[in-house]
Amino acid sequence: MSTLKVSLLQMDCRIADPEYNFLTARSYLEMAAHDKADLAVLPELWASSYALDRVEDFADPLVNEPTPDNAFGRFAALARDMNLTVAGSLLERADDGIYNTMVVYDREGRLLSSYRKVHLVPMLQEEEFLAAGDALSTVTLDGHEAGLAICYDLRFPELFQIYTRRGCRMQVMSAQWPDLRQSHWQALVRSRAIENQTYMVACNGVGEFDNIRFCGHSAVVDPWGEVLVDAGTAPGVYTVECDLGSVDGIRQAVPVLATRRPEVYARAEEQAAAEVPAAATV
Protein backbone atom coordinates (compact mmCIF):
# COMPACT_ATOMS: atom_id res chain seq x y z
CA MET A 1 0.00 0.00 0.00
CA SER A 2 1.51 3.32 -1.08
CA THR A 3 -0.64 5.58 1.11
CA LEU A 4 -0.83 5.59 4.89
CA LYS A 5 -3.55 7.48 6.73
CA VAL A 6 -2.20 8.95 9.95
CA SER A 7 -4.07 10.43 12.92
CA LEU A 8 -2.33 12.77 15.37
CA LEU A 9 -3.92 12.62 18.83
CA GLN A 10 -3.06 16.02 20.28
CA MET A 11 -3.93 15.52 23.96
CA ASP A 12 -4.08 17.77 26.98
CA CYS A 13 -2.62 15.11 29.26
CA ARG A 14 -3.57 15.45 32.92
CA ILE A 15 -0.55 15.26 35.20
CA ALA A 16 -0.23 12.04 37.23
CA ASP A 17 -3.74 10.90 36.24
CA PRO A 18 -3.41 7.81 34.04
CA GLU A 19 -7.08 6.86 34.30
CA TYR A 20 -8.23 10.19 32.89
CA ASN A 21 -5.58 10.04 30.18
CA PHE A 22 -6.51 6.49 29.17
CA LEU A 23 -10.17 7.51 28.88
CA THR A 24 -9.17 10.48 26.72
CA ALA A 25 -6.93 8.28 24.58
CA ARG A 26 -9.75 5.77 24.07
CA SER A 27 -12.12 8.54 23.00
CA TYR A 28 -9.57 9.97 20.58
CA LEU A 29 -8.71 6.54 19.19
CA GLU A 30 -12.40 5.97 18.49
CA MET A 31 -12.32 9.15 16.39
CA ALA A 32 -9.17 7.98 14.60
CA ALA A 33 -10.84 4.64 13.87
CA HIS A 34 -13.86 6.51 12.51
CA ASP A 35 -11.45 8.38 10.21
CA LYS A 36 -10.17 4.96 9.07
CA ALA A 37 -6.63 5.77 10.13
CA ASP A 38 -3.89 3.21 9.61
CA LEU A 39 -1.70 4.70 12.35
CA ALA A 40 -2.60 6.78 15.41
CA VAL A 41 0.20 8.67 17.18
CA LEU A 42 -0.03 9.93 20.77
CA PRO A 43 2.19 12.46 22.59
CA GLU A 44 5.22 11.76 24.75
CA LEU A 45 4.42 10.22 28.16
CA TRP A 46 0.73 10.62 27.39
CA ALA A 47 -0.50 8.35 30.20
CA SER A 48 1.27 10.08 33.11
CA SER A 49 2.27 13.41 31.51
CA TYR A 50 5.50 15.06 32.66
CA ALA A 51 5.51 14.05 36.34
CA LEU A 52 9.25 13.37 36.37
CA ASP A 53 9.42 13.37 40.16
CA ARG A 54 6.88 10.51 40.17
CA VAL A 55 8.24 8.25 37.46
CA GLU A 56 8.57 5.42 39.99
CA ASP A 57 4.79 5.53 40.50
CA PHE A 58 3.89 5.20 36.83
CA ALA A 59 6.63 3.06 35.24
CA ASP A 60 5.77 -0.47 34.10
CA PRO A 61 7.72 -3.28 32.45
CA LEU A 62 7.44 -3.37 28.67
CA VAL A 63 5.05 -6.10 27.48
CA ASN A 64 4.48 -7.52 24.01
CA GLU A 65 0.70 -7.90 24.07
CA PRO A 66 -2.51 -6.77 25.83
CA THR A 67 -2.60 -7.25 29.59
CA PRO A 68 -4.37 -5.43 32.45
CA ASP A 69 -2.66 -3.50 35.25
CA ASN A 70 0.22 -2.42 33.01
CA ALA A 71 0.30 0.79 30.97
CA PHE A 72 1.94 -0.88 27.98
CA GLY A 73 -0.50 -3.78 28.09
CA ARG A 74 -3.46 -1.41 28.29
CA PHE A 75 -2.11 0.55 25.33
CA ALA A 76 -1.83 -2.71 23.40
CA ALA A 77 -5.43 -3.51 24.33
CA LEU A 78 -6.55 -0.14 22.97
CA ALA A 79 -4.83 -0.93 19.67
CA ARG A 80 -6.61 -4.28 19.50
CA ASP A 81 -10.00 -2.91 20.56
CA MET A 82 -9.87 -0.07 18.02
CA ASN A 83 -8.27 -2.17 15.27
CA LEU A 84 -5.56 0.48 14.91
CA THR A 85 -1.79 0.54 14.85
CA VAL A 86 -0.81 2.93 17.64
CA ALA A 87 2.39 4.70 18.66
CA GLY A 88 3.30 6.79 21.69
CA SER A 89 5.70 6.90 24.63
CA LEU A 90 5.27 5.58 28.17
CA LEU A 91 7.49 5.05 31.21
CA GLU A 92 9.30 1.71 31.03
CA ARG A 93 10.64 0.04 34.17
CA ALA A 94 13.74 -2.04 33.41
CA ASP A 95 16.43 -3.68 35.54
CA ASP A 96 18.87 -0.83 34.88
CA GLY A 97 16.52 2.12 35.28
CA ILE A 98 13.39 3.83 34.01
CA TYR A 99 13.18 4.77 30.34
CA ASN A 100 10.98 7.05 28.27
CA THR A 101 10.01 4.43 25.70
CA MET A 102 8.06 4.80 22.49
CA VAL A 103 6.14 1.71 21.47
CA VAL A 104 4.23 0.70 18.37
CA TYR A 105 1.45 -1.89 18.69
CA ASP A 106 -0.35 -3.33 15.69
CA ARG A 107 -4.08 -3.83 15.16
CA GLU A 108 -4.00 -7.06 17.13
CA GLY A 109 -2.17 -5.51 20.07
CA ARG A 110 1.20 -7.07 19.27
CA LEU A 111 4.39 -5.09 19.85
CA LEU A 112 5.99 -4.14 16.53
CA SER A 113 8.85 -1.99 17.82
CA SER A 114 10.11 0.00 20.80
CA TYR A 115 12.53 2.90 21.13
CA ARG A 116 14.09 4.31 24.30
CA LYS A 117 14.65 8.07 24.17
CA VAL A 118 18.32 8.57 23.40
CA HIS A 119 18.67 12.30 24.09
CA LEU A 120 17.51 13.39 27.55
CA VAL A 121 16.66 17.04 28.13
CA PRO A 122 19.33 18.79 30.24
CA MET A 123 17.12 21.85 30.77
CA LEU A 124 14.62 19.64 32.65
CA GLN A 125 17.28 17.51 34.39
CA GLU A 126 15.74 14.40 32.85
CA GLU A 127 18.96 12.49 33.52
CA GLU A 128 18.16 12.67 37.26
CA PHE A 129 14.96 10.67 36.73
CA LEU A 130 15.41 8.64 33.56
CA ALA A 131 17.98 6.43 31.87
CA ALA A 132 19.00 7.23 28.31
CA GLY A 133 18.50 4.78 25.48
CA ASP A 134 21.50 3.67 23.43
CA ALA A 135 19.99 2.41 20.17
CA LEU A 136 17.80 3.55 17.31
CA SER A 137 14.67 1.69 16.25
CA THR A 138 12.57 1.44 13.12
CA VAL A 139 9.17 -0.09 12.47
CA THR A 140 7.56 -1.52 9.34
CA LEU A 141 4.17 0.07 8.63
CA ASP A 142 2.27 -1.56 5.77
CA GLY A 143 5.53 -2.40 4.05
CA HIS A 144 7.22 0.96 4.65
CA GLU A 145 10.04 1.57 7.12
CA ALA A 146 9.65 4.40 9.63
CA GLY A 147 12.07 5.74 12.22
CA LEU A 148 11.06 6.42 15.83
CA ALA A 149 12.01 9.48 17.88
CA ILE A 150 10.94 11.35 21.02
CA CYS A 151 10.80 15.13 21.53
CA TYR A 152 14.34 16.45 22.23
CA ASP A 153 15.68 13.96 19.66
CA LEU A 154 14.35 16.41 17.07
CA ARG A 155 17.36 18.66 17.69
CA PHE A 156 19.81 15.97 16.53
CA PRO A 157 19.80 15.65 12.73
CA GLU A 158 22.13 12.65 12.74
CA LEU A 159 19.38 10.43 14.15
CA PHE A 160 17.02 11.17 11.28
CA GLN A 161 19.80 10.94 8.70
CA ILE A 162 20.63 7.44 9.89
CA TYR A 163 16.99 6.42 9.68
CA THR A 164 16.84 7.75 6.14
CA ARG A 165 19.95 5.80 5.15
CA ARG A 166 18.26 2.71 6.60
CA GLY A 167 15.50 3.19 4.04
CA CYS A 168 12.89 5.03 6.11
CA ARG A 169 10.33 7.05 4.18
CA MET A 170 8.66 8.32 7.34
CA GLN A 171 9.75 9.45 10.81
CA VAL A 172 7.26 9.12 13.69
CA MET A 173 7.76 11.24 16.79
CA SER A 174 5.98 11.78 20.11
CA ALA A 175 6.69 14.98 22.03
CA GLN A 176 5.77 17.39 24.83
CA TRP A 177 7.42 20.49 23.37
CA PRO A 178 7.17 23.77 25.31
CA ASP A 179 5.46 26.90 24.08
CA LEU A 180 8.60 28.92 24.79
CA ARG A 181 10.33 27.18 21.88
CA GLN A 182 7.38 26.76 19.52
CA SER A 183 9.25 28.42 16.64
CA HIS A 184 12.03 25.84 17.03
CA TRP A 185 9.51 23.00 16.94
CA GLN A 186 7.89 24.15 13.72
CA ALA A 187 11.18 24.95 12.00
CA LEU A 188 12.87 21.70 13.01
CA VAL A 189 9.97 19.44 12.03
CA ARG A 190 9.96 20.98 8.54
CA SER A 191 13.75 20.90 8.33
CA ARG A 192 13.95 17.19 9.15
CA ALA A 193 11.38 16.47 6.44
CA ILE A 194 13.16 18.56 3.80
CA GLU A 195 16.74 17.51 4.49
CA ASN A 196 15.86 13.80 4.58
CA GLN A 197 13.13 13.92 1.92
CA THR A 198 10.84 12.03 4.24
CA TYR A 199 7.45 12.37 5.87
CA MET A 200 7.63 13.79 9.38
CA VAL A 201 4.77 12.72 11.66
CA ALA A 202 5.14 14.72 14.88
CA CYS A 203 2.55 14.48 17.67
CA ASN A 204 2.87 17.06 20.45
CA GLY A 205 0.82 17.73 23.57
CA VAL A 206 -1.05 20.82 24.73
CA GLY A 207 -1.92 22.14 28.18
CA GLU A 208 0.25 23.24 31.07
CA PHE A 209 2.34 21.64 33.81
CA ASP A 210 4.41 23.36 36.50
CA ASN A 211 4.35 26.69 34.62
CA ILE A 212 5.42 24.97 31.39
CA ARG A 213 2.88 25.28 28.58
CA PHE A 214 3.11 22.77 25.75
CA CYS A 215 2.75 24.36 22.33
CA GLY A 216 0.75 21.80 20.36
CA HIS A 217 1.11 22.33 16.60
CA SER A 218 1.32 18.61 15.98
CA ALA A 219 2.07 18.27 12.30
CA VAL A 220 2.54 16.04 9.31
CA VAL A 221 5.05 17.43 6.80
CA ASP A 222 5.75 15.89 3.42
CA PRO A 223 9.21 15.40 1.82
CA TRP A 224 8.95 18.77 0.04
CA GLY A 225 8.45 20.51 3.38
CA GLU A 226 4.76 21.17 2.78
CA VAL A 227 2.74 21.11 5.99
CA LEU A 228 -0.17 18.74 5.32
CA VAL A 229 -1.75 19.34 8.71
CA ASP A 230 -0.97 21.66 11.63
CA ALA A 231 -3.09 21.02 14.71
CA GLY A 232 -2.69 24.48 16.18
CA THR A 233 -3.21 24.63 19.95
CA ALA A 234 -6.54 22.82 20.33
CA PRO A 235 -6.71 19.24 21.63
CA GLY A 236 -8.24 16.82 19.18
CA VAL A 237 -7.67 14.30 16.41
CA TYR A 238 -6.09 15.41 13.14
CA THR A 239 -6.02 12.93 10.25
CA VAL A 240 -4.22 13.10 6.91
CA GLU A 241 -3.06 10.74 4.17
CA CYS A 242 0.64 10.30 3.44
CA ASP A 243 1.60 9.18 -0.08
CA LEU A 244 4.67 7.14 0.76
CA GLY A 245 4.84 5.96 -2.82
CA SER A 246 5.86 9.47 -3.86
CA VAL A 247 9.04 9.55 -1.77
CA ASP A 248 11.31 7.76 -4.24
CA GLY A 249 10.28 10.08 -7.06
CA ILE A 250 11.03 13.14 -4.93
CA ARG A 251 14.45 11.74 -4.05
CA GLN A 252 15.18 11.16 -7.73
CA ALA A 253 14.04 14.66 -8.70
CA VAL A 254 16.35 16.25 -6.13
CA PRO A 255 19.03 13.58 -5.54
CA VAL A 256 20.38 14.85 -2.23
CA LEU A 257 20.88 11.38 -0.76
CA ALA A 258 22.65 10.13 -3.89
CA THR A 259 25.09 13.05 -3.91
CA ARG A 260 26.21 12.89 -0.29
CA ARG A 261 30.01 12.86 0.27
CA PRO A 262 30.42 10.68 3.38
CA GLU A 263 34.18 10.28 2.83
CA VAL A 264 34.61 14.07 3.04
CA TYR A 265 32.49 14.28 6.17
CA ALA A 266 34.43 11.44 7.79
CA ARG A 267 37.78 13.18 7.22
CA ALA A 268 36.37 16.43 8.58
CA GLU A 269 35.07 14.62 11.67
CA GLU A 270 38.49 13.08 12.28
CA GLN A 271 40.13 16.47 11.93
CA ALA A 272 37.66 18.10 14.29
CA ALA A 273 38.18 15.35 16.87
CA ALA A 274 41.96 15.81 16.68
CA GLU A 275 41.78 19.54 17.24
CA VAL A 276 41.80 20.30 20.96
CA PRO A 277 40.44 23.81 21.58
CA ALA A 278 42.50 26.13 23.74
CA ALA A 279 41.38 26.37 27.34
CA ALA A 280 38.91 29.19 27.89
CA THR A 281 40.18 32.08 29.94
CA VAL A 282 38.20 34.46 32.09
Task: Label residue 248 by pLDDT band (50, 70, 90).
Answer: very high
Q: How many domains does the chain have?
A: 1
Q: Is residue 161 part of a domain?
A: yes
Count Cα atoms within 13 angstroms, Cβ side, for 145: 13
Q: Residue 192: CB partners within 8 Å, gap ≥ 6? A: 154, 157, 160, 171, 198, 200
Annotation marks residue 117 as catalytic = yes
What is the phi/psi pair of residue 150, to 5°?
-135, 120
Amino acid 277: pLDDT: 67
Q: Is residue 280 domain-resident?
A: no
Task: Kindly report the CATH number assigned to the domain that includes residue 211.
Answer: 3.60.110.10
Residue-range definition of the domain harbouring residue 73: 3-274
Tens of pLDDT, residue by residue over 2-38, are 999 999 999 999 999 999 999 999 999 999 999 999 9
265 Cα distance to chain centroid: 28
Query: Does the active-site annotation cover 241?
Result: no
pLDDT at 278: 55
- Across all residues in the chain, what is the average pLDDT? 96
Structural domain includes residue 254 = yes
Question: Band of the pLDDT at 276, cuts 50, 70, 90?
Answer: low
Answer whether residue 279 shows pLDDT above 80. Answer: no
**Which of these is catalytic: 13, 44, 92, 126?**
44
Residue 279 falls inside a structural domain: no
On whether residue 281 sits in a domain, the answer given is: no
Does residue 167 lie within any of the structural domains? yes
Determine the length of the chain.
282
Beta carbons of 130 and 146 less than 8 angstroms apart = no
Helix (H, G, I), strand (E, B) or coil at 155: helix
pLDDT band at 282 (very low <50, low <70, confident <90, very high): very low
Options 117, 203, 215, 242, the catalytic residue: 117
Q: List the catalytic residue out of 13, 92, 126, 151.
A: 151
- 70-122 tens-digit pLDDT: 999 999 999 999 999 999 999 999 999 999 999 999 999 999 999 999 999 99
**In this predicted model, what pLDDT tens digit does every residue of 144-174 receive, in sequence order?**
999 999 999 999 999 999 999 999 999 999 9
Whether 242 is catalytic is: no
For residue 88, being part of any structural domain is answered with yes
Strands 170-174, 144-150: pairing is: parallel
pTM over 0.75, yes/no: yes
* Per-residue pLDDT, 46: 98
How many C-alpha atoms does 120 have within 13 Å on its Cβ side? 18
190 by DSSP, 3-state: which? helix
Q: What is the pLDDT of residue 280?
A: 47
**Chain segment 204-219, per-residue pLDDT in tens:** 999 998 888 999 999 9
Structural domain contains residue 36: yes
Which residue in 76, 15, 81, 10 sits closest to 48, CA to CA?
Answer: 15
> Mean of the pLDDT values across residues 137-149?
98
Percent of the chain having pLDDT more than 90?
94
